[in-house]
């Protein structure tokens, strides 16, 4: 019912906006169909470069050949969700520089336009409408949270604006409409991997407790997958504990969990609430295995649970050790910009979202020059091409299925290992 309510609210806001003529008209018929996109190609030594300029958003269509092409980035830069959104913003900035140094879209630079979604649904709705109308972007990367996607995406479907979610992993996201896709593998694919690994490494693991944030779409979706995986592995689900993602005191949930004497505890939450929960769980005496959902899959969790982060097991959609020219080229620039050769997963997925838009735009432009298309026509053609293409990315080779969900072949499992200082640490890959 929560999801239905969000969709109704989103459509109501769209109706109000349409009455005030604040949303773009739908695209005219006849948008070009285009071929499949090319792969991500590292910069040749003798390549010329083109850098994006800064300034106000594009106010016309796509007719000015030398003007930067605006791509929207609407992720959480404030609120507790900023732990993920900041990673995502970093990843898109790497992509902007990377592709502009490689000629942008056939010699025309791209320019990222940022709008903060905050951590709630209305923040996402406002940010996405601003991108579609005032900023007049060709497509949008975002938002950070699945719950925000359920609210904002129906508006973009109605307005025919392509969107790529870098971390919207809940069930049902691509099914919102034909202009919605994601570069984040769904929880149904990723979440069970860490539990399967844990069982394989510890055959004596029998009793499992599950804790999740009941007021968030991602957490609700992921915990259902985890609970199904527990049963599929023949394990005993000894307790299920709920909390709010705004909670800071988890004493009652932890007390009930400890009383159930689990061998493993699975947590579906964000970095802030999930990190605090893990810290309190350890401080109250739990010594067993902790398995985290994708919401804990960011280095930004380390300052929250600090030394108590040690040992958290996490499924991963990206490995810095992936031995491909594509990943090596991406990491070199990431090191230069952010000082680490181990980019967090959400940064990589956001990079890939920009990559898909750029490579699809190149293919559209090669078929029908963008300068001859209106903004509305460009959006339609970009959406068609983005979903038809296959891409060689830092995540590996990816494509999209018939429902526009990401098709990714390889996944990993990592474990947090804290350093003796109890402050710094790293994700050590086990597979």
* Model confidence pLDDT, tens digit, residues 88-119: 999 999 999 999 999 999 999 999 999 999 99
Do 418 and 388 sit in the same domain of this protein? no
Q: Let me know whether 242 and 196 are in one domain.
A: yes
Identify whether residues 35 and 130 lie together within a single domain. yes
Which range of residues forms the domain containing residue 280? 189-316+412-429
Tens-place pLDDT, residues 126-174: 999 999 999 999 999 999 999 999 999 999 999 999 999 999 999 999 9
287 and 423 in a single domain? The answer is yes
Same domain, 213 and 336: no
Helix (H, G, I), strand (E, B) or coil at 258: helix
With H, G, I as helix, E, B as strand and everything else as coil, classify residue 165.
Answer: strand
**Residue 14 placed within a domain:** no
pLDDT of residue 273: 96
Contact predicate 218/187, CB 8 Å: yes
Residues 180 and 195 in one domain: no
- Whether 65 contacts 108, CB under 8 Å: yes
The predicted pLDDT at position 162 comes to 98
Within a domain: residue 12?
Answer: no
For residues 31 and 146, the answer to whether their CB atoms sit within 8 Å is: no
Looking at the chain, the whole-number percentage of residues with pLDDT higher than 90 is 84
The token pair that represents 148 in the structure block: 């925000």
Which CATH number goes with the domain that contains 239? 3.40.50.2300
Write down how long the chain is: 431
User: Is there a single domain that holds both residue 195 and residue 278?
Assistant: yes
CA 170 vs. chain centroid, Å, equals 11
Are 330 and 383 within one domain?
A: yes
Task: Tell me the C-alpha distance between 408 and 288, whole Å.
Answer: 32
pLDDT of residue 62: 60
Instruction: Label residue 34 by pLDDT band (50, 70, 90).
Output: very low
What is the model's pTM? 0.85
Tell me the mean pLDDT in the region 193-216: 96
Q: Identify the band that residue 64 occupies on the pLDDT scale cut at 50, 70 and 90.
A: low
Domains held by the chain: number = 2
């Amino acid at each position: 019912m929560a999801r239905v309510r969000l969709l109704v609210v989103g459509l109501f806001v769209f109706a109000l906006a349409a009455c005030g003529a604040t949303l773009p008209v739908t695209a005219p018929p006849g948008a070009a169909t285009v071929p499949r996109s090319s792969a991500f190609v590292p910069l040749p030594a003798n390549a010329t470069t083109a850098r994006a300029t800064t300034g106000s958003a594009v106010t016309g269509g796509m007719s000015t050949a030398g003007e930067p092409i605006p791509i929207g980035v609407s992720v959480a830069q404030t609120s507790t969700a900023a732990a993920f959104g900041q990673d995502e913003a970093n990843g898109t900035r790497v992509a902007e520089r990377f592709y502009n140094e490689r000629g942008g879209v056939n010699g025309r630079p791209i320019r990222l336009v940022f709008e903060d979604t905050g951590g709630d649904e209305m923040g996402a709705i406002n940010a996405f409408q601003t991108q579609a109308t005032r900023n007049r972007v060709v497509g949008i990367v975002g938002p950070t949270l699945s719950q925000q996607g359920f609210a904002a995406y129906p508006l973009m479907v109605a307005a025919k604006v392509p969107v790529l979610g870098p971390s919207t992993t809940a069930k049902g996201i691509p099914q919102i409409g034909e202009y919605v896709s994601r570069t984040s593998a769904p929880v149904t694919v990723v979440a069970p991997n860490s539990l399967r690994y844990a069982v394989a490494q510890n055959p004596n693991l029998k009793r499992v407790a599950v804790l999740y944030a009941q007021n968030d779409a991602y957490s609700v979706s992921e915990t259902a997958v985890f609970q199904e995986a527990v049963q599929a592995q023949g394990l005993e689900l000894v307790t299920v504990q709920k909390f709010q993602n705004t909670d800071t005191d988890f004493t009652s949930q932890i007390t009930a969990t400890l009383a159930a004497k689990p061998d493993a505890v699975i947590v579906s939450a964000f970095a802030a609430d999930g990190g605090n929960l893990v810290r309190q769980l350890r401080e109250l005496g739990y010594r067993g295995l902790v398995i985290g959902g994708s919401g804990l899959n960011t280095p930004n969790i380390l300052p929250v649970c600090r030394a108590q982060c040690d040992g958290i097991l996490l499924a991963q959609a990206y490995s810095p050790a992936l031995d491909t020219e594509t990943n090596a080229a991406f990491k070199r620039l990431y090191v230069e910009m952010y000082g680490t050769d181990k980019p967090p997963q959400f940064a990589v997925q956001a990079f890939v979202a920009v990559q898909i838009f750029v490579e699809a735009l190149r293919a559209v432009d090669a078929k029908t020059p963008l300068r001859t298309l209106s903004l509305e026509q460009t959006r339609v053609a970009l959406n068609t091409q983005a979903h038809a293409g296959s891409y060689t990315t830092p995540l590996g080779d990816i494509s999209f299925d018939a429902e526009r969900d990401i098709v990714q072949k390889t996944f990993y499992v990592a474990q947090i290992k804290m350093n003796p200082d109890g402050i710094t640490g790293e994700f050590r890959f086990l597979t």
